[in-house]
Structure 1
Amino acid sequence: MQTVTSRSTNILLFLIIIMLFCSVSMIAANAAFMVTDEIYQGVTVGDIDVGGLSITQAQQKITSIFKERTTKVAIITANYQERNWSISAQDIELSIQAEKLAQQAYNVGRTGNVLERLQERYLAVHQGHQLPLTVYFSQEKMQNILTGIAKQIERPAQNARLMLAGSSKVVIEPEVIGCKVDLNKTMAEATTKLNNKIAFAFDISVEETAPAVLAKDLEHIDGLIASYTTYFDPRDYNRTQNVLIAAKSINAILIKTGEVFSFNNVVGLRLAEYGFKEAPVYINGMLVPDWGGGVCQVSSTLYNAVLLADLNIEERTAHFHPPTYVPIGQDATVADNQLDFRFKNSLPDNIYIVSEIFNNKLVVSIFGKTLNNPPVIYVTLADKKVLEPTTQIKQDPNLELGKQVVEVEGQKGFIVATYRVKQIDDKIVKNEFLASDEFPPIDRVIRVGTKVLTPQINK
């Protein structure tokens, strides 16, 4: 029993000796660190090594290196792809507080309790301790410089386009990828790097946006499959302006196979704020001025091109009275939020619409995958019926008795049925009913005078 007790006592004494030895060693090591009045080895300010220097020496070194790196040379190189831009310290009024940085470096391993200080010194010597190179610069000037760079980089996305080379050959103009600089992210990246390095290069943060139409969407389109032309009076300025706006809206439009095209969605509302003018339109059988008059000529021209391209009609409405720019029964009227013209690309490949104005001509063309033996397609009328107008007599008490004035000339009405005929090798392979349209007659209106004149009596 005594032997066991003696052995335990010896072990306890041994542990106490070891602990005392470690404590003495730590105190000795700490004392060794405390002997120096210099910045501990391994301490850096940014990438500037100041270990082993006094505060004054560290301040001088930081000042010297900062001046050396910022005088007569660009300190920042901003990169995007193959382009780069240089920014000098003077451009952004860059400066540092060398005395403050030197003091911060000296304080490493000299704050906190004994264990914290010892640990910080040990890590500095063996693993290094980097302090941020805190710099001061004009945020406004940096922002202005980056904004100027952004203007040189940024561009809107542009669709790939189909270009005509001669009368029938087409070539593809590739798309342009859109670029937008993320100024906030770029500014943050530059600021972060400035706090660690005086001179550096970095990449500008750019978001790229692909357009809706890519060159690959047009690769199977090799020629013209249908075209239709109508004419207008360029002297009618307001109506011509409306035709131009609508024609431009439907120009260079890709319609993928299976997609449905909506005229109203593409052209938008016919409002003055979008450039549309007042021009004559038929409303309830009367020709009156309204915003967007003439747009229906564009929808009707497109309708006929679509028919000749053998595409499926999804929605089409005839005018109240047949217009003069297309054959009767081949018009397609549209109205904001009411009447639309829609068709589906029922072909196996994508198609591309081109709408052009030549003097007094509006030409709508549809390009697609051409066939070696394309069918002949045309539109024909059947069962045309004329509706004769009636004559209405209105008594006019303000008009002299017996006199007549024609108030409305009156026009004939029609009922027509239209068909789309498809021929291959002179044989009709399809006779497709399109629509039966009724255009009511406009009655002739005559005013007849009923005013009786009182004879004058000479006195």
Structure 2
Amino acid sequence: MMRRKPWVFLLVILLSQLALSVLLGATVTYGAGYSKAPEGLIVWEKDLSGMTKEEAYEVLMGVIPKAVGYNQEVYPLELEQTYQDLKDYLAGQYIISTGNIMTDAFEYLRRMSITLPSPERLNQEEIFAQLRNIALDIDQPGKPASVYYENGKVVLEEGSLGVRLNIDKSWEQLKQSNGTEAVLLITEVIEVHPTTAELEKIKDPLGDYTTYFDSFFYERVTNVRLAAKAINGLILPPGGEFSFNDVVGKREPERGYLPALIYMGNKVVTDDGGGICQDSTTLYQAIKQAKLEVVERHSHSMPVSYVPLGQDATVAYGVLDFRFRNTTQGYLLINAVTGGNWIRVRIFGMADSEHPVLNEPDGYPVKPGEWLNDK
């Protein structure tokens, strides 16, 4: 039989004594401090070493922001879930006695080697819900500027900037803030187009054309005036494309359009909206004066009386359109008005070398008895 060496027994005895000493030391430490935070416990840059759970909770409560603010308005935050998350975290840092000193001592040793990562300062779901609700009070859509022609001059109505709460950036701001002072929310400015600066450049007359009609034909005159109202005041951005059919829409009785004579091939028939080709044609002439790019134009199948031969622009909803593009460097304003027997279309914008100021308006008078109704 092989005999064990004496030093082996000695080593076993020493290790047993060491283990017993550690366990006894842990037992004593547990008995003295099981209800206090372990040494080196730092949360949110606050050293909680040796504090009771209640003391640590009070310290960390002071770090959590309690309100947000915007433009002199303070919005208190509801933090029920945030506080509960903090309590749950602290519960994981403190030893809960089992009633058995040896078991508690071993648990103390185990927890000394484990430190849970610091919790989020605020519960994101809880805060985001409140920020979205606060945004309803803060967000403003802004107002685009507008412009119109009245009493011989272009009149500008100034717009306003919008504002929107940036929830993500406000959340980051909250996470980095300490104390009970209201944390300023982060907003962003919304620029609404057209802006006042963009529309104040609309000063120059670029096109101005008038055509005439026979005021005796009530239905046709009604249609011409309805279409003119639809066009009047339209603002077109640089590079924007105008579609007569899109702007005027369907020529339906429900919208006030009446049956009047139109060209259909080589025949003259009656259809709703008859006569509004005089609007599109007058607009076309003004567009030519302004030297804008014509994208789509069609001539009637037979001559019309209100412009020279071949200078018309017929339209038929869903079939034929009149379209042009704003090739200037600024916004355009279309002014379309009617009188007793005439329709006048003006184009205002920002003149340049390719789109010079129009010095004299133009037009084409109808000679008595030479009118033809069209669509």
- Equivalent position SS for 1:365: strand
In 1, the alpha carbon distance for the partners of 2:304 and 2:313 equals 10
Aligned to 1:148: 137
Q: Check the 8 A contact 1:109/1:118 in 2, yes or no.
A: no
The total of aligned residue pairs comes to 345
Gaps of 5+ in 1: 1-9, 382-409, 414-438, 440-459
CA deviation after TM superposition for structure 1 residue 282, in Å: 0.7
In 2, the alpha carbon distance for the partners of 1:86 and 1:56 equals 29
In 1, the alpha carbon distance for the partners of 2:110 and 2:323 equals 77
- Equivalent position SS for 1:147: helix
| Residue 74 (structure 2) aligned to one of 80, 86, 95 | 86
Structural mapping, 1:50-61, within 5 Å? 52-55=50-53, 61=58
Residue 344 and residue 86 in structure 1: after superposition, are their counterparts in 2 closer, same or farther (change >3 A)? closer
Aligned to 2:34: 37
Q: Check the 8 A contact 1:313/1:343 in 2, yes or no.
A: yes
| Residue 242 (structure 1) aligned to one of 227, 233, 245 | 227
Gaps of 5+ in 2: 1-6, 97-105
2:63 is aligned with 1:77: no
- Equivalent position SS for 2:231: helix
CA deviation after TM superposition for structure 1 residue 276, in Å: 6.3
Q: Check the 8 A contact 1:334/1:340 in 2, yes or no.
A: yes
TM-score in terms of structure 1 length: 0.52
Residue 95 and residue 328 in structure 1: after superposition, are their counterparts in 2 closer, same or farther (change >3 A)? same
Deviations 1:6-60 (A, max 9, x none): xxxx9xx99x98999799679857864663133315657878876534345567x
| Residue 321 (structure 2) aligned to one of 333, 340, 350 | 340
Q: Check the 8 A contact 1:95/1:136 in 2, yes or no.
A: no
In 2, the alpha carbon distance for the partners of 1:135 and 1:62 equals 21
In 1, the alpha carbon distance for the partners of 2:178 and 2:111 equals 24
TM-score in terms of structure 2 length: 0.61
Letter in 1 for 2:135: L
Letter in 2 for 1:244: K
Instruction: Determine which structure has the larger strand proportion and give its number.
Output: 1
Deviations 1:210-260 (A, max 9, x none): 6378957986x7622331134576975555223211334xx221344xx7x
Relative contact order: is structure 1 or structure 2 higher (C-alpha 8 Å, sep ≥ 6)? 2
In 2, the alpha carbon distance for the partners of 1:300 and 1:155 equals 36
Q: Check the 8 A contact 1:96/1:135 in 2, yes or no.
A: no
- Equivalent position SS for 1:332: coil
Structural mapping, 1:25-424, within 5 Å? 28=25, 32=29, 35-40=32-37, 52-55=50-53, 61=58, 75-79=66-70, 83-88=71-76, 95=80, 104-108=89-93, 110=95, 116-120=110-114, 129=118, 132=121, 144-150=133-139, 153-155=140-142, 158=144, 179-181=163-165, 185=168, 189=171, 193=175, 200-204=182-186, 206=188, 208=190, 211=193, 215=197, 223-230=204-211, 236-237=221-222, 239-248=224-233, 251-256=234-239, 261-264=241-244, 267=247, 269-270=249-250, 275=255, 277-284=257-264, 285-290=267-272, 292-311=273-292, 313-343=294-324, 349-350=328-329, 352-358=331-337, 360=339, 361-370=343-352
- Equivalent position SS for 1:318: coil
Percentage identity across aligned positions? 20
Deviations 1:330-359 (A, max 9, x none): 3211122321223466x7x53643222446
Deviations 1:165-203 (A, max 9, x none): 9968x89888755555567x58x9399759987654143
Residue 190 and residue 304 in structure 1: after superposition, are their counterparts in 2 closer, same or farther (change >3 A)? same
Is the radius of gyration larger for structure 1 or structure 2?
1
In 2, the alpha carbon distance for the partners of 1:315 and 1:99 equals 67
